[in-house]
């Protein structure tokens, strides 16, 4: 139970069942198609206020399998029984929901006329053009290329989204797995987002958009960040409204939305100023370096990579991500790195962890240990590059 301005709000009501999910998906296709003009959205269409559960804490258990296709929301309903924590924004009083809807509309506009109402003195997010005409173009391109998976509001629940594994990214938390610096609160660089659009994400359904012009790529990224800022603002204020110790009133909602937007904006700004530093050259690592990296990988006292990447990732192991989805721990023997093969990117993910995925960072590693581990990870999927004694342990029966 929860109290908002004297009202007791129950949590845990049952959500729609499987058939309702199908109907909702089909309905969203009709709405998007019928409400849109030739070049974009109908001007009367608004971003929907959030109705799906907010995942505040995932269950402490290790999941054995992902949710069945199309049943992410049904899976999230079980989190509280499993020791996790979710909040249901649909149970807020209608007056609060309407006030939040109106405030978000004022700050972020609509799909046809997106905007960002940020303070004039705010530091810019480098590489992003938030002028209204560029956001409108980004919205048009997003509708054409992205909305079917990532959804109208960037919730990852487009018509095809619930049926894809892993689920499309939900931008509304402001957390991206391609972030490489913990101080940026899960925000990636614009360069990293461009990289994903140009190269896709191996092992997922994210396609390659290498034929789009640089101008189009920039417009899509600007609109994506716009959706993320809106979603994170909404998420933070909804959490605050559900806090039993909060004294936020109906009239406080606009102020709290502006504060949440300001904080998210600062994190995006910071993410563009923190650069990934080129590291040691491990393009041709020595055998001794690979051996040292192997010992770090299997060490229980060190980073302990093998605790999650059992059998170097070939064993099926799963973890909850911060969105409530279930992801398979990466099989490192495949050489399929979602964010690229560059040594410095792998080093940064080892050092900082992967935001949202449950992969911890290892800031205590020395520079030598870090690059030894990178050398081993890069050599792991190529048996001929491994020292003979390691090759026979990792790939039994290999020549």
In a domain, 399, yes or no: no
Q: How far apart are CA 275 and CA 17, in angstroms?
A: 46
What value does the CA radius of gyration of the chain take, rounded to a whole number of Å?
Answer: 22
Whether residues 17 and 137 share a domain: the answer is yes
Whether residues 218 and 342 share a domain: the answer is no
Q: In the listed set 239, 273, 307, which residue is the last one of a domain according to the structure?
A: 273
pLDDT of residue 185: 87
Give 111's DSSP letter. S
Q: How far apart are CA 7 and CA 172, in angstroms?
A: 27
Domain containing residue 193: CATH number: 1.10.760.10
Q: In the listed set 246, 273, 300, which residue is the last one of a domain according to the structure?
A: 273
If we measure between CA atoms, which residue out of 274, 268, 264, 269 comes closest to residue 181?
A: 274
In a domain, 303, yes or no: yes
Q: By residue range, what is the domain housing residue 378?
A: 287-394
In a domain, 31, yes or no: yes
In a domain, 280, yes or no: no
Whether residues 294 and 266 share a domain: the answer is no
Whether residues 90 and 198 share a domain: the answer is yes
Whether residues 27 and 59 share a domain: the answer is yes
Whether residues 121 and 224 share a domain: the answer is yes
Give 279's DSSP letter. -
- pLDDT by 10s per residue, the chain, length 399: 344 443 333 333 333 333 333 333 444 444 444 334 446 789 999 999 999 999 999 999 999 998 899 999 999 999 999 999 999 999 999 999 999 999 999 999 999 999 999 887 789 999 999 999 999 999 999 999 999 999 999 999 999 999 998 899 999 999 998 887 777 888 999 999 999 999 998 888 899 999 999 999 999 999 999 999 999 999 999 999 999 888 999 999 999 999 999 999 999 999 999 876 656 666 677 999 999 999 999 998 778 899 999 999 999 999 999 999 999 999 999 988 877 778 888 888 898 888 788 888 898 999 999 999 999 999 999 999 999 999 999 999 888
| Cβ atoms 228, 128 nearer than 8 A | no
Whether residues 269 and 148 share a domain: the answer is yes
Domain count, the chain: 2
In a domain, 282, yes or no: no
Helix-helix angle 190-199:214-242, to 10 degrees: 120
Q: How far apart are CA 307 and CA 360, in angstroms?
A: 12
Q: In the listed set 213, 238, 273, which residue is the last one of a domain according to the structure?
A: 273
Paired sense of beta strands 7-9 and 54-57, if any? unpaired
pLDDT of residue 184: 85
Q: How far apart are CA 146 and CA 212, in angstroms?
A: 13
Whether residues 13 and 74 share a domain: the answer is yes
């Amino acid at each position: 139970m929860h109290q908002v301005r004297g009202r007791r709000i129950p949590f845990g009501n049952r959500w729609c069942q499987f058939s309702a999910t199908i109907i909702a998906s089909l309905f969203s296709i009709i709405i998007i198609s019928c409400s849109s003009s030739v070049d974009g959205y109908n001007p009367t269409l608004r971003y929907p206020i959030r109705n799906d559960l907010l995942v505040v804490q995932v269950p402490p258990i290790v999941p054995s399998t992902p949710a069945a296709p199309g049943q992410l929301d049904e899976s999230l309903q079980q989190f509280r029984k499993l020791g996790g924590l979710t909040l249901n924004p649909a149970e807020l009083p209608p007056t609060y929901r309407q006030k939040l809807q109106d405030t978000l509309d004022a700050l972020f506009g609509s799909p046809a006329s997106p905007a960002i109402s940020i303070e004039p003195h705010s530091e810019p997010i480098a590489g992003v053009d938030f002028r209204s005409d560029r956001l409108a173009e980004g919205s048009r391109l997003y509708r054409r290329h992205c909305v079917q998976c990532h959804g109208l509001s960037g919730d990852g629940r487009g018509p095809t989204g619930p049926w894809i594994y892993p689920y499309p990214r939900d931008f509304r938390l402001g957390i991206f797995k391609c972030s490489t610096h913990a101080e940026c609160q899960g925000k990636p660089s614009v360069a990293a987002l461009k990289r994903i659009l140009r190269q896709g994400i191996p092992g997922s359904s994210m396609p390659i958009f290498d034929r789009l012009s640089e101008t189009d790529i920039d417009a899509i990224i600007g609109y994506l960040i716009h959706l993320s800022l809106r979603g994170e603002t909404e998420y933070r204020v909804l959490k605050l409204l559900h806090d039993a110790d909060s004294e936020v009133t109906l009239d406080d909602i606009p102020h709290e939305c502006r504060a949440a937007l300001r904080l998210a904006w600062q994190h995006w700004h910071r993410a563009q100023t923190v650069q990934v530093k080129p590291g040691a050259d491990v393009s041709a690592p020595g055998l001794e370096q690979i051996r040292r990296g192997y010992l770090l990988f299997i060490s229980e006292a060190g980073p302990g990579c093998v605790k999650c990447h059992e059998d170097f990732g070939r064993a099926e192991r799963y973890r909850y991500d911060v969105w409530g989805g279930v992801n398979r721990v990466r099989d490192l023997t495949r050489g399929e790195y979602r964010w690229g093969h560059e040594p410095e990117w792998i080093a940064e993910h080892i050092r900082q962890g992967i935001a949202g995925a449950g992969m911890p960072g290892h800031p205590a590693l020395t520079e030598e240990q870090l690059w030894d581990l990178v050398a081993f990870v890069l050599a792991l999927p190529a048996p001929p590059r491994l020292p003979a004694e390691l090759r026979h342990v990792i790939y039994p029966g290999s020549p």
